[in-house]
Structures are given as structure tokens and as C-alpha cells.
Amino acid sequence: MSKPTIQDVAQKAGVGVGTVSRVLNNHPSVRDSTRAKILKAMESLNYTPNPHARRIAGGRSYTVSVMLPMVAAEFYIRLLTSIEETLGEQRYDAAIFPMLGRERLERYLESHTMPYQADGIIQITYNLAVLFPDGRMPTEQPVVLVDGKTDLYDCTYVDNYHGGLVAAEYTCQAPGEIYLVSFDDENDPDAIFKSLVFADRIHGFQEGVSRAGRSIKDTYFCGLQYHEGLAITKQIYDHAQFPITIFAGADILGRPMIDEAKSRGLILGQDVRIIGFDNQPWAAEIGLTTLHQPVEEMGAKAAHLLLERLSGFEGPPRQFCYQPFLIERASSLKSIPVI
């Protein structure tokens, strides 16, 4: 009554274990008819290969570790989903390691822990390699970084600087005060996680505003939570001289700006223009103008890069940069009423 093994399948299909193994690893040299026969046997036995045995025998377990800051932020869910789908195409599974904080990260870092037991590692947003003395992960496994740039490993990322620039150009099409609200971990000495994602957006925006000969009235930083964005929004609305334009470094911070504007009877696109970043699935619903980033493409590409490494590719690190683009919606459009 225990799980069926490759032996059972071989017997049931009337072939040798070697052949079964071949179809498992879809080796080309197997006659279609026998392949079918074996597949049928696996089906009827409800057989699935034991990844531990595969790992120990063949040196690979068909799992890859995905290390990310957290799960539940929509951005990461989307990324994760696209990565898993792509890995699935080659029958790979993802083992998820949410770091969440310094303590957990440190546990995961030690070279004998779970993340290193997989065939490869995908890191999201944070390039953990920089935490090591030599700037490399303490492993021979292929590593790829998503949503971050590095010269040492394959990576896929968004040109956040450019996104900030575009936001600035659009901002400067209208008169009035300009505000910037964003998350920033760049200057937090205690932040073990660091990325340039937000810093780049900010710098791009600053550069763009200054190129247009304008200037930013005020800049605020806060965490990526609705209530934090709301608190800052109130400050801004309390003292601003309308019209104003606010660039929120993330959609989640743009959301309270819309809500609070409505609460106060401010007219969106006229008194207040709001620009987000991310184009979250709900951004359309609330009419938030924002910079779209191709999250799914980025994740899928990263997974592909890793799969290539896992099938033996040995070239130098490859970098893929995606350009975000502006999607104009009611939060910044005159005369189109917000639903």
C-alpha cells in the first residue's frame, strides 16, 4: 500500500526500469508505443517519481528554490505564479523561501540549509550574494536574480530609473506643486535587505523633474502600507496649494491618495493628479494612472534563464531589462470622471 516505485511501473508495463527512467527524463530514444504503454502504467498506478531518489541518483531533484522577501504582496504573488508556471513546463517544482526578516534570512543563508538542496536558486528583489564576503552565493548551483540587477548572475529587471523619468515627464505636463512619496530602504543601515528598485524610481523622477525645469515641493518616505500612505496624504492635502501632482513610488501608496481626495471633494485630474507605479491588477478599477511593469514576463524569463542553466548552458551572465510604460487613467485625467 506504499507509493509505487519505478519497479512497479516497469513490471506493470512489461519493460525494464531503465526504459521507465528514460521516459521519466524524456530521453528521445524510446519507441512511441512503449512510451505510451509506460505512461499508461504510470497513470493507472498513480505513480510519481520520488524527488529525493532522483536527486541522490541523478544529482537533481527537479526543484528550484525561490527566495523572496515575502509572499502576499501582489507583486510577489504574480511573480511567483509566473515562475512556477514556467518551471512547470519542464517539470520543475518551486520550493518557496520567504525571508520576511533578518532572522529568517540568516538561517537560510547558511550553506547547508534547505535552499541549497535544490537544483538552482531564484532570488527575487534582493541580491543575497552581496551579503557574502566574496559577493557570491556559497554554492555551485546556478542562481538568477529577478527584479534586481547584478553582473554576477543572470537577471531580469525593470528599468525603474526610466520609469521615474517617464513619470516625471508626464507630471510636468501640468502646472502646480509636485510631490513625491515613496518607499526607501536605501538609507536604512539596519535593512539587511536592500534593493535599488525604489531608489532608481526616485532618482529617475528627480532627474526628470529637474530636466523640465521644475522642482519637487516635498518628498516623503514611508512603508508600503495603505495606512502609512494615508497619513502622508493627509499631510500633503492639508498644506498643499492646489493643483498638485503626486508621484507615488508604488500603487499601494497611490490608493489612499485617491480615496482621501474623494473624501475631501478634491477633483482628480484637476486639483490633484496622482501617478502610481506597478499597475497592480486593481489599479484599473480605481482609475489609477500608473507605470506598468511586465511582472509576469520578468518572472517567466528568469525561470527560463535558470532552466537553460540547468540544462547545461554555461555562458556569461545575461541581463534582461524591461521598460515600464505609462498607463493613463482617471486619477490624472481632466474631465473624465472617476467611477
Positions touching a copy of itself (CB under 8 A) are: 46, 48, 50-53, 55-56, 61, 63, 70-73, 77, 81, 84, 93, 95-98, 100, 103-104, 111-114, 117, 225-227, 230-231, 234, 255-256, 259, 263
With binding defined as CB under 7 A, does residue 117 bind DNA?
no
CA distances from 285 to 157, 176, 249, 289, 329 (A): 26, 26, 19, 11, 10
d(CA 236, CA 233): 5
Q: Which does 93 bind (CB under 5 to 8 A by kind): DNA, a copy of itself, none?
A: a copy of itself
For 274, residues 6+ apart whose C-beta sits below 8 A from its C-beta are 245, 246, 248, 254, 257, 258, 261, 268, 288, 289, 331, 332
The site string for DNA over 171-210 (x = CB under 7 A, - otherwise) reads ----------------------------------------
Among candidates 204, 203, 176, which has minimal Cα distance to 271? 176
With binding defined as CB under 7 A, does residue 36 bind DNA?
no
* All cell numbers assigned to 162: 526610466
d(CA 11, CA 249): 60
With binding defined as CB under 7 A, does residue 30 bind DNA?
yes
With binding defined as CB under 7 A, does residue 5 bind DNA?
yes
Amino acid at 221: F
> Which of residues 54 and 201 has its CB atom nearest to DNA in the complex?
54
Min dist CB 90 to a copy of itself, Å, is: 16
> Which of residues 96 and 212 has its CB atom nearest to a copy of itself in the complex?
96
Q: Which does 111 bind (CB under 5 to 8 A by kind): a copy of itself, DNA, none?
A: a copy of itself
With binding defined as CB under 7 A, does residue 34 bind DNA?
yes
Among candidates 224, 225, 205, which has minimal Cα distance to 215? 205
CA distances from 215 to 110, 204, 223 (A): 47, 13, 24
With binding defined as CB under 7 A, does residue 91 bind DNA?
no
* Selected range binding DNA among 17-25, 129-137, 177-185, 222-230, rule: CB under 7 A: 17-25
Q: Give the binding site for DNA (CB under 7 A).
A: 2-3, 5-7, 14-22, 24-25, 28-31, 33-35, 49-50, 53-54, 56-59
